[in-house]
Amino acid sequence: MKRDLTVLLIEDDEDDYEITRETLEEISGVSVNLEWIEAYEQGLERLSSSEIDICFVDYRIGGRTGLEFIRMARDNGVIVPLVLLTGVGQHDIDVAATEAGASDYLDKSELDARTLERTIRYSIAHADAMKALASKTELLSTTLENAGAGIAAIEQNGVCTARNSRFNQMLDAVAGEQGAAQDTNKAAHLIDRIADSLDTTELSEIEIGGLDDGAVYAVSRTRTPRGGAVYVSIDVTQQKAMQNSILRAKSDAEAVSRAKSSFFANISHELRTPLHGIIGFSDLIVREAPTPILTEYADQINQSGKSLLDIINTVISFSRIESGQHTFNDETITDIRHFILDVIKPIQNANPERDLQVSVDVDASIDALRIDQYALRMIVHNLFDNAVRFTADPASINISCKRMSDGAGILMIVDDGIGIAEEKQERVFDAFYQADDTLGRSYEGIGLGLPLARLMTNAHDARITLASVPGEGTQVTVAFPLDRTLPVIADTHGMTEANLQSGRCGN
């Protein structure tokens, strides 16, 4: 107990004041400063004006009672310990004092130093505990009210013990009625509805939408150890609007992409039909032209028509694959080296004047690839064609197929050409993008070679990467997953895994 105490006595009888003063003086080890006030109003004013450690209140104060005094003091926010003094000990007065907010109740006839000391000590300790509790409660209330979500605490019996304004706002929105949360019965009914919805879903939260104000709330529930629950509601209206906007934008973009692909496919088909006629008749003119000059002209028409047909076929292939209309079939392609040579031969023949040094190396441990034949042909064709077009004579191009340490296979095409600037190396995989986009660019192409190769590789769970240094060359690598690279595993009869799948027998 404190060694220096300021005690206030509200008492209209001087004799009782003297008895109280003398009894207080008998308490050893404590210095007591006793203040005596006879009037009701002055007593209330004194309690509110400065620090008082404890206040004793007589049961009768003039024409009013100490119970009224205590009740009024508590209503005014006084937290000082208040002890009721009465001349007659009665149980109903004791109960009434406790209900009014008294810290204790003492019978004057039994008042002595020991009892008074004990009452003072316990009343002050209780008041200190109540102050600490009030401080924590205020902190909790402030935290609860300023939380970024609606929060409600529900006991096991369904009684709501705490609820902040954000949760009330959600309840009002669900009820479609302002102030519904202030109605205890309505609030309990709404929370029961939310609980039922959470009970019938396997998810940890539910989404409440379709409200009059257009708001959307995500509500979750966490069980407490004593069987209660804590509900958390978050206003996700803006997030849902943003998600819907993104989904609409994605849907619109996909629709535009499909329309674009459909347009390219249709227009390419329409162009291809007359081109076949141009190419066919130019072939006849080349064979039957009466003069060399007409033969040359017809040959130019023929070559230009075939070049344009190649472009159209490329656009059609890209459009069909991009729109998901092309179906790929897993095939076992054996003799990889021969396959690669067969693909690149037409490109070499179309460039007879070029000084091309081409090497093809295939790891002996790779017997076959499991991939769509058309896809592999297009991958090799496009990568090799790029290497030829962007490499000056004498051009050195190496095509290799090797097995990595993890067993997966890689197809690699390396050239010593002009290279690609670092900031453009990822963009060259974008459809129709040209690393050199000037009107006077030196290299032909429509910008679909690498994008088409990427589509083909992605369709087979493979991955294509590019590394390049301007002025030194470019390396393009296609990494095939392990299950698409068939190893050479000879059995006692000289058969390999790829042989068995293709029906070939090794000698």
User: Domain locations in the chain?
Assistant: 4-142, 147-235, 246-322, 331-501
pLDDT at position 277? 80
**Fold observed for domain 4-142:** Rossmann fold (3.40.50)
Residue 492: exposed, middle, or buried by beta-carbon count in 10 A (0-12, 13-18, 19+)? exposed
Q: What is the pLDDT of residue 283?
A: 82
The fold of the 246-322 domain, in CATH, is Helix Hairpins (1.10.287)
User: Which CATH architecture describes the domain 331-501?
Assistant: 2-Layer Sandwich (3.30)
Return the pLDDT at 29: 80
Angle among Cα 289, 293, 294 to the nearest 5 degrees reads 35
Q: Which of 403, 287, 410, 399 is nearest to 345 (CA)?
A: 399
Q: Give Dmax over CA atoms of the chain in angstroms.
A: 149
What pLDDT was estimated at residue 2? 59
The third-level CATH classification (topology) of the domain covering 147-235 is Beta-Lactamase (3.30.450)
Residues in the chain where the model's pLDDT stays below 70: 1-2, 89, 261, 264-265, 268-269, 322-325, 431-447, 487-507
- Residue 186 CA: distances (Å) to CA of 114, 168, 349: 54, 11, 85
